[in-house]
Structure 1
Amino acid sequence: MGAQKKGEMGAQKKGDVGALKKGDVGAQKKGGARVSDESEEQSRQRLQAILLADSFTTKFRPVTLERPKVLLPLVNVPMIDYTLAWLESAGIEEVFVFCCAHSTQVIDYLKNSEWYSHPSLLVRTIESHKSISAGDALRFIYEQEAETSQIQGDFVLVSGDTVSNMPLADLIQEHRERKKKDEKAIMTMVIKQSKPSPLTHQSRLGTDQLFIAVDPLTKQLLYYEEDKIDHARGTICLDKSLLDSNPSVLLYNDMQDCYIDICSPEVLSLFEDNFDYQHLRRHFVKGVLVDDIMGYKIFTHEIHSSYAARIDNFRSYDTVSKDIIQRWTYPYVPDINFSGNRPLKLGRQGMYRASDAILSRSADVGSSTVIGYGTEIGSGDKILNSVIGNGCSIGSNVVIEGSYIWNNVTIEDGCEIRNAIVCDDVKIRAGAVLQPGVVLSFKVDVGRDFIVPAYSKVSLLQQPTKEDSDEELEYADSSSGTADHLSGLNLQMESKASELGPDGAGYIWEVCEGARDEEWKHSVAPIPEDKLAEITQAMDDDDIEDESVVPTSGELKSDADSINTDLNDPVDDYGYFEREVEGTFLRAVEEGFAVDLAILEINSLRLSYNMESADCAGATFYSMMKLAVDTPHNSAGELLRNAASIMTKYKGLLGFYVKQIDEQIEVIMKLEEMCQETARELGPLFSQILRVLYNIDVLEEDAILRWAEEKAGADEADKVYLQQCEPFIQWLKEAEEEDETEDEEEEEDG
């Protein structure tokens, strides 16, 4: 939807959204009554989407026992708003929002939001109280469609916890054109590269690694597996019969399933015909792939420059939140008004602040922090890499680091909160400490000086006496309150629970036996050092040879005698690699982790993308210069000081990749490229930045002189920066000549 002015949508006439129960789905049409003479072709081409507003999982318990996941705040905006804003901006005209758990809350939210009156997106709600899986939801929708025929053609299938900015129109058209040629092509899945690394791709932790096989020419999905990969060896056993009817197969273990699908109507009918299809991937996709009778096909579409991610556990919640703050999701960022949310002001070092937030002068609010409306920050507070919601009151000398404080939270003096999630209306009394990984659900009260143990989940609701046997099962309810549906879960809610100290209120849930050692995987807390070492070791141990396995990345080609493996050629891989390196560098700056860890991260990216050391040098230097340009400055001199300070501080990181002359020349070429792109800012500083790199021993004189010699033969238009640094080049030459003369004299004396 983009940057829409505050209040713009609110001026529209209301009345376009409704809770559609069975039998009344066709009652309305965007802009008024359904036009009777609308052609069948126009109806077929209408861009529609089905949005599942229920995750059908329990991963966000105990929070989701009281509020649906799609209404949980993500950088102070409900998750579903990101999904709807993206669908609208991508050209979708009509969205069917399927509601199950806490359906009343979702429907009421949409009715009271500006989506209710949006001029270009018609939002309809479909309510079911018995669906316990995505399969049940799609079967319920199909039953309604049999009576009303509201979904008239291909549609986008997405969940309400999706954040994306990718375009959809061309992808939908691609799907339709493929369907014209092959009527068995019923789905196109969106995938993207997700390089395994210990620091920036934490969202993959706690979830099964994905392994897929794709036809390199048609992009047809041939194999999909989430749970049979040997993580320690990085390999998978694969039946060679896969090549019987496919002369060439691309294998991937570095792809992320975005759970964004373009579907033909046959998808709904397949769910209706197969009641054992519950999960969209484990059951439906794998079922289609092994069904030789119907012959239906699923295809893939890989995105490169766009953003797309799902929030399926607390760790991915943390990762996506950071991506939003660091603006990878633009235009869906805190300082843009989308879906009627009040924008925040972007300040220095990437700190976002509401216009009426009150910050004490002695408070230290660091980079990558968000401060919501009506929030007060006390004296001596230290807040870093955190999101603070609306209406919060934070006392004096409070430390909040890497945490998410939702709305109307009260934190008294002297508290410490690190890498935690604190829900609405929580009260944390003076001196209390939340250790990493803690989740406090709604209205919990932490007692004075109480220490909440790491990875604890705390709620006013007692833990279920009997856990659900199926991880897909959350529950369905028809009320917005808690009393009725909680009784069916063997839960209790008391007015005062004292597990959080004498003046506290809340129950600390016990971790199930067997899952205790896995809590860190799903947490917003950083990876423990011992676990980080295990992950790194596993990444390094993927070269074990075995005749029974095939590599997890590359192309298999059919051959009468053998199978040859060749790595596939990446599309714009360097651009994606450069962006990943930049993200790593920014996290190193903002979170202050050691240069050695940054090198470890970049090295894992280097291996994943099959890059050279020179590529790492160029990408690292680019990240430094971009940070210098993005840091507020009022003059060229100030920009130069920014750049010099960053290069000097992180010369150890850059120096690791510029040990050879060719690698140093790559840095000079990258500087030249950036000066051309930002001619007004960096352009005049080329020679001075070159001097800084020389003075801090990142560049040797041989590299600079060799670059100058190569540039001497270029066209005059390409000699701008060579001419700018001619005095410096001449000085280096003279110094080199003096050194040679001194060497000759020493040899003669010897």
Structure 2
Amino acid sequence: MPPQRKGAAARVSEDTEDLTRHPLQAILLADSFATKFRPITLERPKVLLPLVNVPMIDYTLAWLESAGVEEVFVFCCAHSKQVIEYLEKSEWFSQPNFSVVTIESHNSVSAGDALRLIYERNVINGDFVLISGDTVSNMSLTQVIQEHKERRKKDSNAVMTMVIKQSKPSPITHQSRLGTDELFLAIDPQTKQLLFYEEKTDSYRGIIPLDNALLGDNPSICLHNDKQDCYIDICSQEVLSLFTDNFDYQHLRRHFVKGLLVDDIMGYKIFTHEIHSSYAARIDNYRSYDTISKDIIQRWTYPFVPDVMFSGNSATHLEREGMYRASEIEQSRSAHIGPFTVIGKGTKIGNNSKISNSVIGKGCSIGSNVSITGSYIWDSVTIEDGCDIRHAIICDGVVIKSGAALEPGVVLSFKVVIGQQCIVPSYSKVSLYQQPTVEDSDEELEYADNSSGTVDSSITCTVDTLNREMMSETPASQMLSLHLSSGVEAEVHMEKYAYLGPGGVGHVWSICEGAHEEEWRHSVAPSPADKLAEAIQSLEDDLELLNLDGNALSVSGELKSGRNGTDSEDDDVEDSRDDSIYYEKEVEATFLRAVNENIKVPDVILEMNSLRLSYNMTSADCAGAIFYAMMKQALEIPHATAGELRKSAASIIDAWNKLLKFYSKEIDDQIEVIMKFEEMCLESVKEFSPHFSQILHLLYDKDILEEDAILRWADEKKDAEESDKVFVKQSEKLIQWLREASEEED
């Protein structure tokens, strides 16, 4: 019969395809087609910016090679010559069984243009991986590619599989971590087909517009706001032809993905693959740059960490508390290098300087009495004596004169000079390039339009030249003779603004109208307390809108009907248990970050409140989770004896008692802390078991626990089994003393 002959032909075709297997290919976009890293990207392409002292593109290529990709086509547009020259000099061109081919374009302004050009080159022979060169991952591609191929055999319209992962469930925490918009996905829980994709805008105000047809055509839908788009896609060849047939497709998500989801005529489908234990994230802005750098230093991206991968870092050694130190550095004995810090080769550090939670590049010179916290200092930077730098990005060749200070969020582009005693305000961006007078009309365009004459990315200048000009007696506004890469000399007006201090050189960029909100969300600086408070209030308002009798978005992100029935009660209990586990992990991670980054208690409380809201937890839950995190942190402090362990616990409790007190105001909250401590000593942190009564007494002395809380806890244990009275018996002397004191007061 005809249907049988057709099926047989299809099987022969599949078998032939297996016999003529094509190498696994990838398209790597070396241009992000965005302006979020300006003014830095006016001079250097984003993929060549250092990420923990290694160019971003090396992380992407290293992962592709380790994941079994055999042929990578690197699409270059903005600063294409720099990318091509870097790759030609790197080891990627000589790797066995791993081919890297560059494709250059000078007029592509979007990802859509890039994919249309690649389609014209006819170099893709089958399913391929689509990724940008600012992505860091250690996931395996085997399962997702297998799932994609199996779907394609059953349904030729399944053209794409997007990789997603569990994200911070709280929109506030997620945004404060990556600086991205809240993402809503509607996914069929059975087939994993993507049905809806939307980034939150202010107009939503907690209401997600879903088409009635979407709800009617799909018997089961999960709506998530707790997933992160990893921007790793497995695509069929049809994806390239779809971009060619639709010139309106420019952006991969806003145009292509959303376009396919609403196209009922062609019937193309997109599916999702969720990863759990693996790492994957894209560097979208300065905040995600900061977050992913910390993840690399804390080894979430293993094996792509400073002391393992990349030959240039082979001499980097991991030391205690996440500190990496390269060879051939000169460090004064009185200098202090704190936790989660990377020091590059050939760097010099002077007397009494303090560096923590920062990355220092190669060949830097750091003077005496310098303080650097949460910052990224690239190569060949000079920081003179007495400077204070907090949560800043400082590019190659920058000079910071003595006594200067950078407030949180500052970005200094290449070879800028900050004068003596100058204080650079928060979120300032300083560059040798003047700020473009006309913003690009196309938001996808990363690089400046050189034909406008506003800036010219071919200008090169040395710090030596600038220093010679500064030392001469020239007026504050002067003309420096710079050279273009073409060899033509040009006169470029370089103003030495008064607010860059004596001898300062550079242009301070003004914040564009309407962009103030983006500055703090996209900055490496911690989120301001007032902005977090506003965001939390907005979240509370959204939750009130969603807390309706009908369909509601639960805190786990799933679209559920009203809970009148009993069928889902077991599932609800299981979800609640999972939420508690995730919540405690989130609290622990937030507390660890607060300790490492010296975040103030009021700011930590704001973040804890956002977590509490998103998980719908009580203050008692919060108190117990925070105390658990505190004791885990005490355990991480090196100790050789039981006495040292108790001292570590006492120091943590003393340093953070205001945070714990905030969530332990009521007796019930305090009892939860005691019960949590019991649970820890019996299960997860047994090292504290012998010290239960001493630490309980310490919590009482610090006014964290009231005597009523301890006595009520002891009374509740009267009828319990003997195995549940272990710590009551250990604390008998304290309990008896409290009872006698209470009777005397009566």
TM-score (ref. length: structure 2): 0.81
Structure-2 residue corresponding to 1:202: 176
| AA in 2 matched with 1:195 | P
1:581 aligns with 2:587: yes
CA distance in 2, matches of 1:528, 1:118: 46
Provide, for residues 460-514 of structure 1, a one-character-per-residue CA deviation record: whole Å limited to 9, x for no partner: 2222232201110124999x971599999xxx97385423455332222233233
Which stretch of structure 1 is more off in the superposition, 446-455 or 214-223?
A: 446-455
Shift, 1:644, TM fit? 4.3
Q: Aligned partner of 2:142: which letter?
A: A
Which residue is equivalent to 2:356?
384
d(CA) in 2 for partners of 1:737 and 1:468?
75
- Distance across 2 between alignment mates of 1:711 and 1:358: 62
Q: Residues 499-557 of structure 1, C-alpha deviation per residue, up to 9 Å, x if partnerless?
A: 34553322222332332454223222222332222122212222444899964555446
2:300 aligned to which of 300, 325, 328: 328
The 8 Å contact of residues 187 and 196 in structure 2, kept in 1 or not, is answered as yes
Per the alignment, in what secondary structure is the counterpart of residue 586 of structure 2?
helix
Contact 2:414–2:432 under 8 Å retained in 1:
yes
Cα deviation per residue 1:549-577 (whole Å; 9 max; x = unaligned)? 96455544689x99x99998759555543
Letter in 2 for 1:274: N
AA aligned to 1:156 is V
Provide, for residues 60-106 of structure 1, a one-character-per-residue CA deviation record: whole Å limited to 9, x for no partner. Answer: 11111111101101121111122222223333333222211112211
1:336 positional shift: 2.7
Q: Secondary structure at the match of 1:696?
A: helix
The one of 109, 121, 126 equivalent to 1:153 is: 126
**What is the CA–CA distance in structure 2 between the aligned matches of 1:509 and 1:703, rounded to whole Å?**
60
Would the aligned equivalents of 2:406 and 2:424 in 1 still touch at CA under 8 Å?
Answer: yes
The answer on 1:235 being equivalent to 2:207 is: yes
Given that residues 463 and 509 in structure 1 are in contact (C-alpha distance below 8 angstroms), is that contact kept between their aligned partners in structure 2? yes
CA deviations over 1:205-257 (Å, ceiling 9, x no partner): 3x4332221112222111111254546x4333333332120122211233322
Name the aligned partner's letter for residue 523 of structure 2. S
Residue 250 (1) aligns with residue 222 (2): yes
1:222 pairs, out of 195, 211, 215, with: 195
Structure having the larger proportion of residues in helix: 2
Q: Would you say the 8 A contact 1:229–1:236 is kept in 2?
A: no
CA distance in 1, matches of 2:401, 2:230: 41
| Corresponding letter in the other structure for 1:506 | G
| Residues 230, 106 of structure 1: alpha-carbon distance in 2 compared, 3 angstrom cutoff | same
Query: Contact conserved, 2:532 with 2:607, CA < 8 A, in 1?
Result: no
RCO higher in 1 or 2 (8 Å CA, sep ≥ 6)? 1
Preserved CA contact (<8 Å) 2:693 2:730: no
Distance 1:400 1:608, change over 3 A: same
- Unmatched 5+ stretches in structure 1: 1-37, 676-681, 714-721
Partner residue of 1:32?
none
- Listed one character per residue, the Cα deviations across residues 422-459 of structure 1 (whole Å, up to 9, x for unaligned) are 10011122233323322111111223333333322222
CA drift of 1:346 comes to 3.1
Secondary structure of residue in 1 paired with 2:186:
strand
1:628 to 624, 634, 639: 634
How many Å apart are 1:308 and its aligned residue?
Answer: 2.0
1:51 aligns with 2:28: yes
Check 1:706–1:295 CA distance in 2 against 1; reply closer, same or farther (3 A cut).
same
Moved more, 120-129 or 68-77: 120-129
Q: Is the 8 A contact 2:317 2:324 kept in 1?
A: yes
Distance 2:328 2:50 in 1: 20
Counterpart-to-counterpart distance in 2, 1:269 and 1:173? 22
Q: Give the superposed CA RMSD.
A: 3.9
Aligned: 1:460 with 2:463: no
1:509 to 1:653, Cα distance in 2 relative to 1, 3 A: closer
SS in 2 for 1:535: helix
8 A Cα contact 2:409 2:428, kept in partner: yes
Counterparts of 2:694 and 2:17, CA distance in 1: 68
2:430 is paired with a residue of what secondary structure?
A: strand
CA 1:712–1:516 in 2, change beyond 3 Å: closer, same or farther? Answer: closer
- The amino acid of 2:125's aligned partner reads Q
Match of 1:371 among 343, 365, 376: 343
Question: In 1, distance between residues paired with 2:693 and 2:65?
Answer: 47
Amino acid at match of 2:674: Q
Aligned pair 1:405/2:377, yes or no? Answer: yes
Q: Which residue of 2 aligns with 1:5?
A: none
Q: Is 1:107 aligned to 2:79, yes or no?
A: no
Distance in 2 (CA, whole Å) between partners of 1:142 and 1:185 is 19
Separation in 1, partners of 2:552, 2:372:
44
> Given that residues 102 and 477 in structure 1 are in contact (C-alpha distance below 8 angstroms), is that contact kept between their aligned partners in structure 2?
no
**Identical amino acids, percent of aligned pairs:** 60
Judged with a 3 Å threshold, the aligned counterparts in structure 2 of structure 1 residues 168 and 261 are, in CA distance, closer, same or farther, namely: same
Equivalent residues of 2:351, 2:368 under 8 A apart? yes
Question: Retained in 1: the 8 A contact 2:529–2:602?
Answer: no
- Give the equivalent residue in structure 1 for 2:612: 606
Please give the per-residue CA displacement for 1:358-401, whole angstroms capped at 9, x wherever unaligned. 22223233333222111111123232332211100112222322
Residue 469, structure 1, aligned to residue 441, structure 2:
yes
In structure 2, the partner of 1:130 is 107
Question: In the alignment, does 2:458 pair up with 1:482?
Answer: yes
State the match for 2:241 in structure 1. 269
Letter in 2 for 1:511: I
SS for the counterpart of 1:190 is strand
| Counterparts of 1:603 and 1:579, CA distance in 2 | 15
Query: SS where residue 455 of structure 1 aligns?
Result: coil
Letter of the structure 2 residue corresponding to residue 153 of structure 1: G
1:282, distance to aligned residue in structure 2 (A) = 0.6
Gaps of 5+ in 2: 1-14, 451-455, 461-482
1:396 counterpart = 2:372: no
Please identify, of 350-359 and 566-575, the stretch whose mean Cα deviation from structure 2 is larger. Answer: 566-575
| Partner of residue 498, structure 1 | 496
Q: CA deviation at 1:686?
A: 2.3
Aligned to 2:163, the other structure's residue is in SS state: strand
Alignment correspondent of 1:671? 681
Of residues 202, 213, 221 in structure 1, which corresponds to 2:186?
Answer: 213
Deviation of residue 584 (structure 1)? 0.6
Corresponding pairs, count: 680
Q: Which has the larger displacement, 420-429 or 443-452? A: 443-452
Question: Is 1:591 aligned with 2:573?
Answer: no
Give me the whole-angstrom Cα distance separating, in 2, the residues matched to 1:501 and 1:654.
43
Contact 1:235 1:550 in 2 (8 A): no
Q: 1:710 to 1:263 in 2, by over 3 A?
A: farther
Distance 1:269 1:303 in 2: 28
Give the letter for the 1:528 counterpart: P
* Deviation (angstroms), 1:709: 7.6
Distance (Å, rounded) in 2 between the aligned partners of 1:736 and 1:422: 57
Which stretch shifts more, 665-674 or 337-346? 337-346
Q: Give the C-alpha shift of residue 413 in structure 1.
A: 1.9
**Aligned partner (choices 69, 76, 94) of residue 117 of structure 1:** 94
| Contact 2:697–2:734, Cα closer than 8 Å, also in 1 | no
Q: Secondary structure at the match of 1:700?
A: helix
What amino acid is aligned across from residue 32 of structure 2 in structure 1?
Answer: S
- Deviation, 1:172, is 1.7
Given candidates 62, 67, 81, the residue that maps to 2:58 is 81
- Structure 2 contact 529–606 (Cα < 8 Å) conserved: no
Partner of 1:180: 153
Give matches, 1:57-68, under 5 Å.
57-68=34-45
Shift of 1:109: 1.6
